[in-house]
Amino acid sequence: MAAPKVSVCMITYNHEAFIAQAIESVLMQKTDFAVELVIGEDYSTDHTRAVIEDYQQQHPGKIRLVTGPHNVGAQPNFIRTYEACRGQYVAMLEGDDYWTDPRKLRRQVALLDHRPEVVMCFGDCAMTDEQGRVIKDSIVPENFRRELTQRDIVRDYCPPTLSTLYRNHVLPPFPAAFTTVSNGDYFLYSLLTEYGTAAYQPGVVAHYRQHGGGIWSSLDQEKRYRQNLRTKLTMLEYFRGRYHAEIMASVNWYYIQLCTLLWQQQRWGEFRRLFAEFTRLSVRTLNKELPAFTLRLLTGRLPLLPLSAP
């Protein structure tokens, strides 16, 4: 059987209330090429799998289910689902989000077909609440509505995952470090742009749903910062000196924000552990930010939080 032009990589877990809308938004795409929907269902405890199987019966040959006998977690589920994608291009959409533009895939495929120097493209998205009410019209900052290089992405910008389309089969096997990060999409785009740029196409193409059951939106700010820090440290190790200044700028920011929070909340044991980790890294990399932060700490000149984005 010939490979489809586009594989839609959809991962899902306990999305019973949302998965039908996500699937329908793929089925509504108006294309003149073959599209397959590959759904990685991570052993949900609700009826997510039953909904998927019902759609699979209604659309034989269009939807493939990837699952297993137990829950494996978001990143391993993504990897096995991605590896099952056969298309020339891969689009990503999680089971609680949905596309709104029926021409999304057609427009993006046309761009990649005609621009071989571009490895991926992305659009804008709106943010909705659990009931689907729009709470933010756009989530792509104006300064990133342009063609991005690997340096732009590594420095600290992750295009909206649900808006992307990228070339399949350009990456070597994922490095072992890829399985250890929570922000897999950010690391993925950092790897992809080794092989070309990321082009922006104007327009809102999808809705990102913010709700308590979302893997990312359910995390509080401190947990997000800790996960972002781990991803940045993994990338620092992976790139081995390339983009050192760009990655270290973010690493320093997250360490300082988290250490400040722990200090102000008098969580001394956690503070000591994180500060010691920051110190070891700084000694190894000759990082000048640590002495400056330590001076502010000892002289009582730390900024008051809540935390804000870098």
Q: Residue 197 — φ and ψ, nearest 5°?
A: -90, 170
Indicate the number of domains in the chain. 2
Helix (H) or strand (E) run with residue 67 in it: none
Residue 215 lies in a domain: no
Q: Do 176 and 34 belong to one domain?
A: yes
Q: What angle do CA 52, 207, 165 make, to 5 degrees?
A: 75
Give, for all 310 residues of the chain, the pLDDT tens digit. Answer: 678 999 999 999 999 999 999 999 999 999 999 999 999 999 999 999 999 999 999 998 999 999 999 999 999 999 999 999 999 999 999 999 999 999 999 999 999 999 999 999 999 999 998 888 999 999 999 999 999 999 999 998 999 999 999 999 999 998 888 888 888 899 999 999 999 999 999 999 999 998 665 444 434 888 889 999 999 999 999 999 999 999 999 999 999 999 998 998 899 999 999 999 999 999 999 999 999 999 988 888 877 655 444 4
Instruction: Choose one of 177, 209, 241: the last residue of a domain.
Output: 209
| Residue 306 counted as domain residue | no
Say which residue the tokens 């722990």 belong to: 262
Strands 98-99 and 118-128, bridge-based pairing: unpaired
CA–CA separation, 107 vs 89, rounded Å? 13
Residues 190 and 294 in one domain: no
Is 0.85 topped by the overall pTM?
A: yes
98 and 17, same structural domain?
Answer: yes
pLDDT single digits (tens) 42-73: 999 999 999 999 999 999 899 999 999 999 99
Closest among 271, 260, 265, 272 to 297, alpha carbons compared: 260
Same domain, 152 and 230: no
Rounded Cα distance between 257 and 298, Å, is: 16
Its domain, for residue 261, covers 221-298
Q: Indicate if 196 and 258 belong to the same structural domain.
A: no
